[in-house]
Amino acid sequence: MKALLPRRFILFFLLFWTLWVFYRWLATQANKRQSCSLRMDSNISILLWHWPFGHQFELDGDVCWERYGIPRCHLHNQRSQFYYADVVVFHHNELKNGTQKLPLDLCRPPEQKWLWLSLESPASNGILYAYNGLFNWTMSYRRDADIFMPYGELVPKKTTKEYIIPKNKSFLACWVVSNYVTQHRRSKVYESLKKLIKVQVYGNWAKRPLTVKELLPTISRCYFYLAFENSEFKDYITEKLWRNSFQAGAVPVVLGPPRKNYELLVPPNSFIHVDDFESLDSLVDFLKQLASNETQYRSYFKWQEHYEVKVYADWRERLCKICTLYQKPLNKKVYHNLHAWANR
């Protein structure tokens, strides 16, 4: 009889412990379900799941209002805010290289939007089938993205200040390049061009790097800038046009999507497209003739009478733009084939 008492006690203890563990599990699940439906307030909460390219930036305070005049828009990078976020932003580069993963183990609030962010061309996307059915919105340089985020744009001038073309032109053409790949079309065009004209080449590849302060003044000494994209895809028009050419005061010679694609963003007489010419010889002849005719050369800057360049380089401004579109009737959607959309 005495031997049964310890056994009964042990059984009672095990039963009690099992019930306690089960109770705690139920409580945890209930908390998770409750968390899934929580929202902070009427503000729009944007959670950046990881830093783009590992570059950190300040998010404290009311960044969107203080910097860009966008109200009720709060940016976060603390993952503890996941259950409260209206939109969670995932930058593709880190997902592709495996340094970051989607939080598939967390209970996702039913109204929460997941946004796939990439400003790179399809040549850098990789395989995206694993993300099918997970993302609601896209942010891209593509005009058909849910949130269109170009590298730059022309905006109406705020003043009537006369535009000034740099006078210190010393070179016919220049190019800044760090990622030189022999197989790229731009590399092949350059190799042919340099046999016809002298091209001033800067950047890491040429072992002539330029600091941020040196970049625009250096390019301003050139009549033309080779705004050659590293890949040719629809809408893929980068800072090579907006900053390196327009802001520097050099006429861009572009290589990228077709001319009509550029003309959706800038005036047709503000740039020269490589594909407009039957041969590189005829292109070079045109550049030489244009550089020698001041009136004709100045006509490529006439757009500056009414417009100025707006370059988008701050990730915070890109994130804040989400809030300007959040209340608009964006279609409730899910990208069931993100790979097909991103690579077309």
Catalytic positions, written as ranges: 120
- Helical packing angle, 185-193 and 280-291, nearest 10°: 60
Sign of CA dihedral 263, 266, 155, 118: positive
Backbone angles phi and psi of 152, in degrees to 5: -170, 175
Q: What is the mean pLDDT of residues 80-95?
A: 98
User: For 85, which DSSP code?
Assistant: -
| More confident of the two residues 12 and 105 | 105
Q: Which of 108, 132, 131 is nearest to 47 (CA)?
A: 108
Q: 63: which residues sit within 8 A by CB, 6+ positions away?
A: 75, 316, 320
Q: What pLDDT, in 10s, does the model give residues 212-262?
A: 999 999 999 999 999 999 999 999 999 999 999 999 999 999 999 999 999
Q: What pLDDT, in 10s, does the model give residues 265-323?
A: 999 999 999 999 999 999 999 999 999 999 999 999 999 999 999 999 999 999 999 99
Q: What is the pLDDT of residue 172?
A: 98
**Model's pTM, two decimal places?**
0.86
Q: What pLDDT, in 10s, does the model give residues 117-158?
A: 999 999 999 999 999 999 999 999 999 999 999 999 999 998
CB 173 within 8 A of CB 200: yes
Q: What is the pLDDT of residue 12?
A: 56
Percent of the chain with pLDDT over 70: 87
Is beta strand 222-228 parallel, antiparallel or unpaired with respect to 171-176?
parallel
Fold of 154-311: Rossmann fold (3.40.50)
Q: What pLDDT, in 10s, does the model give residues 8-59?
A: 556 555 565 555 545 565 444 444 444 454 444 579 999 999 999 999 999 9
CB 35 within 8 A of CB 83: yes
Burial class from Cβ neighbours inside 10 Å (0-12, 13-18, 19+) for residue 236 reads: buried
- CA distances (Å), 272 to each of 228, 231, 255, 269, 337, in order? 11, 18, 9, 8, 36
Reported confidence tier of residue 74, pLDDT bands at 50, 70, 90: very high
User: For 275, which DSSP code?
Assistant: G
Render 121-160 in DSSP notation, one character per residue.
Answer: -GGGT---GGGTTT-SEEEESSTTSSEE--SEEEEE-SS-
Q: What is the pLDDT of residue 133?
A: 97
Of 13-17, 81-85, 190-194, 196-200, the poorest mean pLDDT is in 13-17
The domain spans of the chain are 44-149+314-342, 154-311
Whether residue 7 has pLDDT greater than 70: no
In the block, tokens 């970051």 appear at 100
Q: What is the pLDDT of residue 326?
A: 81
Instruction: Give the C-alpha separation, 24 to 165, whole Å.
Output: 72
Q: 229: which residues sit within 8 A by CB, 6+ positions away?
A: 121, 186, 236, 237, 238, 240, 254, 255, 256, 257
Of 68-77, 276-285, 329-338, the poorest mean pLDDT is in 329-338
Q: What is the pLDDT of residue 6?
A: 58
CB 315 within 8 A of CB 50: no
